[in-house]
Amino acid sequence: MKTYDYIIVGAGSAGCVLANRLSADPATRVLVIEAGGPDKNFWLKIPIGFYRSVYDNRFSRSFTTEPSETTGGRGIIWPRGRVVGGSSSINGLIFIRGQHDDFDDWEKLGADGWGYRDVLPYFRKLERFRGAESQYHGAHGTLDVSQLRNDHPMCRAWLSAAQQWGLPANTDFNGDTTYGVGAYALSISDRWRSSSAVAFLHPALPRQNLTLMTQTHVARVVFEKGRALGVELLADGRREIVRAEREVILSSGSLQSPQILQLSGVGPADLLKKHGVDVVADAPEVGENLQDHYQARTIVELRDKISLNNDVRNPIKLAQMGFEWLVKGSGPLTVGAGQVGGAACTKHAVGGRPDIQFNVMPLSVDKPGTPLHKYSGFTAAAWQCHPASRGRLQIRSNDPLADPMIEPRYLSEEIDRKTLVEGIKMLREIYRQPAFKDVWTREVVPGSEFDSDEKILDFAQKTGGTVFHPVGTCRMGRDDRAVVDPELRVRGVSGLRVIDASVMPKVTSANTNAASLMIGEKGASLVLGH
């Protein structure tokens, strides 16, 4: 039986950070197990490759949620990274931590030591910020974070319109506040994506004490008398057990960390018995507390043919894009899922804290991976920062390769429905400001016929979808029902931790990848007793 000190399940956002930090001691043997393959493909490297890779089954595993009345009877597809680097290798690259109060909320919910002042040093430690020096940023980390390098006139016009509507300019969403509008920071270096694998795992792989297994699926954690001894692997049609002398660490994300726990006998006892899984620890909240941001888009047609929809069909423009990226490290090929946007307060906001986030791009498309629309499209989307709706995840059987049942319960709470409607109305008002009102000819989505709150909500429910931010299914807290304690140790067993986005008690107000990386950084410190 192969033996290591630490076994990390998942080479994703947090897992790669853990692999780097835990293997820094040459006397410590570390194994990282990844279900996907290597991250060598060109589209995983170039920032704009997000549009090609996020739904590509070579690099992601697509899960489908349960249909619900609040999503128009639809199931929503949730792609999650199944490649070295995990979702940090396929995501939209927007690097935003969230509101300071997000982390103070975690602490109030029982995540002792996870308030904003506690986590800021870990954000700073992992980051190499390519902007002005600031107390909020790190300059000596290995994850490159850059300011937007594509200046599109329609994005400038939208920012001016948003300020005319009443939102302040914000030059740094990772600084004092997320409130206001501006350009998003992105996890890119000079020209390439700075994934967790690029920043943390690849530099550490030459170490003799670090082993990476790819194309290897973890079936379950193996326990003896309540202690995690190792994991059972599935690879090339065979089963194998590898042993961990110190700890097993699940970093498989908010869908597969709880699934692995349940398959291993840690979860709601009745559910486990139903599917023939021996109960190791009755943990009723494993898979509960599921949260995600739900987004609805607006699209207008621009008067002039200056959308990226037009540019990608123009060979001269395409050549210019390639030249700008190759020579200057800038231009449209250096952007991800959003160029500009910001956070605002609807009439439902509490205490002046933004409750809606905007994401703006000078293009339009049905979904990433499909052709851009043929008209000159411009997209502005809105999602609720603090959803009150809570879902759940449960295994359907004891088959480790089967998809779990995912029930997000989007928009099941009235405040979520009301806030999203207000966000869409805000976007429409911004379009009508002097700086933008003359540059577009018609609203394509949702369309002028959606002219009441009821119709707008109906549109959002039938056409909206995920922003790829599922969290919370292995909630941390000090109470006995929390899945992990504030040290990220799984309750009811020993030798096992969960370190990934699933431990968030509450979803951050913004994109979740930066916070997931921080969890990996702080989690490594907890494992090492620092």
Which of 198, 256, 144, 145 is CA-nearest to residue 20?
Answer: 198
DSSP 109-136: TT-TT-SHHHHHHHHHHHEEEESS--TT
CB 25 within 8 A of CB 262: no
CB 33 within 8 A of CB 219: no
- Name every residue whose Cβ is closer than 8 Å to that of residue 301 and which is 6 or more positions away in sequence: 375, 376, 377, 378, 440, 441, 442, 444
Q: What would the two tokens of residue 476 be?
A: 């941390």
Burial classification of residue 251, based on how many CB atoms lie within 10 Å of its CB (0-12 exposed, 13-18 middle, 19 or more buried):
buried
The Cα 102–Cα 470 span in angstroms is 16
494 DSSP assignment: B
The total number of residues written for the chain in this structure: 530
Task: Flag whether 181 is marked binding.
Answer: no
The Cα 374–Cα 364 span in angstroms is 9
DSSP β-ladder status, 288-290 and 180-183 = unpaired
Give the angle 409-107-120 at the CA atoms, nearest 5°: 105
The Cα 61–Cα 210 span in angstroms is 26
Catalytic annotation, pick one of 100, 217, 386, 469: 469
Among this protein's residues, is 469 annotated catalytic?
yes
Q: How far, CA to CA in Å, does 438 sit from each of 161, 303, 402, 505?
A: 11, 8, 52, 44
The Cα 301–Cα 362 span in angstroms is 10
Range list of H helices, 354-440? 414-431
The Cα 114–Cα 105 span in angstroms is 9
The Cα 288–Cα 304 span in angstroms is 48
CB 177 within 8 A of CB 385: no
CB atoms within 10 A of CB 278: 10
Task: Flag whether 439 is marked binding.
Answer: no
DSSP 202-269: HHHTTSTTEEEE-S-EEEEEEEETTEEEEEEEEETTEEEEEEEEEEEEE-SHHHHHHHHHHHTTEE-H
Ramachandran assignment for 465, one of left (phi > 0), alpha (psi -120 to 50 degrees), beta (any other)? beta
- Annotated binding-site ranges for FAD: 83, 218
Query: Which residues does the annotation mark as catalytic?
Result: 469
